[in-house]
């Protein structure tokens, strides 16, 4: 078990594997409910790896997934790179203040077959023992708006 790189210390509240429930809305689709599992891990280097998977709350079938890396800059600023199996790659920038990480996209790219996503805002924050996450998204020609929110608890 490597020691946490000092620049990652402000992100220590994220480390571990978390599971919980979330809800999603968007004008172009039906409301949906899901179970979510995320993990934040480190190897002693100045980044934190992130992987996420969700399942439909009703059927248990796989819904969404994403993977990326957080790059804390040592002064509170944090960069993130993120990909989704829908063919989307995002660069994000933001800041961590206490147990509250807020990021906004600086670039969103899609493969030829991906749906058009133009911007996202992502937030991870601690609420007592829980870890919450939310995503706002501008997609399908619509303006940036709330998309999903979840609350998870750390797995032992």
CA distance 50 to 53: 10
User: Closest approach of Cβ 127 to its own copies, in Å?
Assistant: 27
Smaller CB distance to its own copies: residue 90 or 132? Answer: 90
How many residues in the shown chain lie near its own copies by CB under 8 A?
Answer: 36
Q: Does 81 engage in binding with its own copies (CB under 8 A)?
A: yes
User: Closest approach of Cβ 131 to its own copies, in Å?
Assistant: 20
* Phi, psi dihedral angles at 61 (to 5 degrees): -75, 150
Q: Does 36 engage in binding with its own copies (CB under 8 A)?
A: no
Interacting positions 116-145 with its own copies (CB under 8 A): none
Smaller CB distance to its own copies: residue 53 or 123? Answer: 53
Q: Which residue in 17, 55, 58 sits closest to 35, CA to CA? A: 55
Burial of 42 (0-12, 13-18, 19+ CB in 10 A): buried
CA distance 93 to 121: 9
| Beta carbons within 8 Å of 130's beta carbon, 6+ residues apart | 20, 151, 152, 153
Q: Does 35 engage in binding with its own copies (CB under 8 A)?
A: no
CA distance 126 to 145: 22
Q: Does 15 engage in binding with its own copies (CB under 8 A)?
A: no
- Of residues 7, 57, 89, 119, which one binds its own copies by CB under 8 A? 89
Q: Using CB under 8 A as the criterion, which residues of the chain lie in contact with its own copies when the complex forms?
A: 2, 43-45, 47, 49, 51, 53, 61-62, 65, 67-69, 71, 73, 79-85, 87-91, 93, 106-107, 109-113
């Amino acid at each position: 078990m490597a020691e946490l790189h000092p620049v990652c210390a402000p992100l220590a509240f994220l480390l571990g594997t978390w599971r919980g429930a979330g809800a999603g809305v968007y004008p172009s689709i039906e409301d949906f409910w899901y179970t979510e599992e995320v993990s934040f891990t480190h190897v002693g280097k100045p980044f934190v790896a992130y992987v996420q998977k969700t399942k439909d709350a009703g059927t248990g079938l796989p819904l969404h997934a994403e993977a990326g890396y957080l790059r804390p800059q040592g002064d509170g600023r944090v960069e993130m790179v993120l990909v989704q199996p829908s063919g989307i790659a995002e660069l994000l920038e933001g800041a961590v203040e206490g147990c509250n990480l807020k990021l906004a996209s600086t670039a969103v790219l899609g493969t030829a077959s991906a749906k058009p996503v133009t911007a996202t805002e992502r937030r991870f924050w601690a609420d007592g023992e829980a870890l919450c996450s939310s995503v706002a998204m501008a997609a399908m020609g619509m303006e940036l708006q709330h998309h999903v929110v979840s609350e998870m608890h750390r797995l032992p």
